[in-house]
Amino acid sequence: MNQFIHDKEFEPFVSESKIQERVKVLGAQITQDFQGKKLVLLGILKGSYMFLSDLCRAIELPLEISFLRISSYEGTQTTGEVKQVAGFHDDLSGKTVIIVEDIVDTGISMDYLLKEIKKYQPADVKIATFLYKPDAFRFKYSLDYVGFEIPNKFVVGYGLDYNDLGRNLPELYQLVNSQ
């Protein structure tokens, strides 16, 4: 069924069962890849909360869960955004950190996060993202665990919002073209 959120219409794109199936596969891969490591899942708020919640239950290893919120501001520079990490005090030193994101679009946010998180001296940093838009991506770093590669179209649901609504939808929707 299509969803009407604010002024826009969204159509079903990836079903709840397909998402759950894929997240279990990612969890099994992570379980295999990080035996014996001090593992931290670092969720980026707000969008990653639902993905992280399912992913952590699909990983059969001891792990810590941490969250970080980045805020973006309209910068005074012409080049664009300034991002800031707000109130993060967890100990990442010597640990394997998997950054858990809802979506990597241009990759600007993740590029910023990779640089910031390295300041906390982790043993290793990996990336798990529920969605990836390869046509929008502008960087060279590799994404270690990707749920779904999607076209360059706006999506909502499964943690992702449109102007603060739509995060609680258990499946993914995409914007209807004509809007």
* Binding residues vs Mg ion (CB under 5 A): 47, 101-102, 161
Rule CB under 6 A: say whether 114 interacts with ligand 5GP: no
Rule CB under 6 A: say whether 103 interacts with ligand 5GP: yes
CA quadruple 24, 27, 28, 29: dihedral sign: positive
Rule CB under 6 A: say whether 161 interacts with ligand 5GP: yes
Would you give the distance in Å from CA 154 to the centre of its chain?
15
Smaller CB distance to Mg ion: residue 54 or 102? 102
Rule CB under 6 A: say whether 108 interacts with ligand 5GP: yes
Smallest gap from residue 40 Cβ to ligand 5GP (A)? 20
Among 125, 160, 169, 172, binds ligand 5GP (CB under 6 A): 160
Catalytic residue among 7, 33, 91, 105: 105
Residue 91 is a catalytic residue: no
Q: What are the phi and psi torsion angles at 68 (to 5°)?
A: -140, 140
Residue 132: partners with Cβ closer than 8 Å, 6 or more residues away: 103, 104, 143, 146, 147, 148, 149, 150
Other CB atoms within 10 A of residue 31 CB: 15
Which DSSP letter does residue 109 get?
H
Q: Among residue numbers 118 through 157, which ones bind ligand 5GP (CB under 6 A)?
A: 154-156
Smaller CB distance to ligand 5GP: residue 54 or 102? 102
CA atoms of 137 and 25, how far apart (whole Å): 24
- Which of 56, 47, 44 has the alpha carbon at shortest distance from 100? 44
Smaller CB distance to Mg ion: residue 31 or 116? 116
Q: Both tokens of residue 160?
A: 């992702």
CA atoms of 149 and 135, how far apart (whole Å): 10
Would you give the distance in Å from CA 153 to the centre of its chain?
16
Smallest gap from residue 90 Cβ to Mg ion (A)? 18
Smallest gap from residue 161 Cβ to ligand 5GP (A)? 5
Smallest gap from residue 79 Cβ to ligand 5GP (A)? 14
Q: What are the phi and psi torsion angles at 50 (to 5°)?
A: -75, -40
Enumerate binding residues for ligand 5GP (CB under 6 A). Answer: 47, 102-110, 154-156, 160-162
Q: Which residues are catalytic?
A: 105
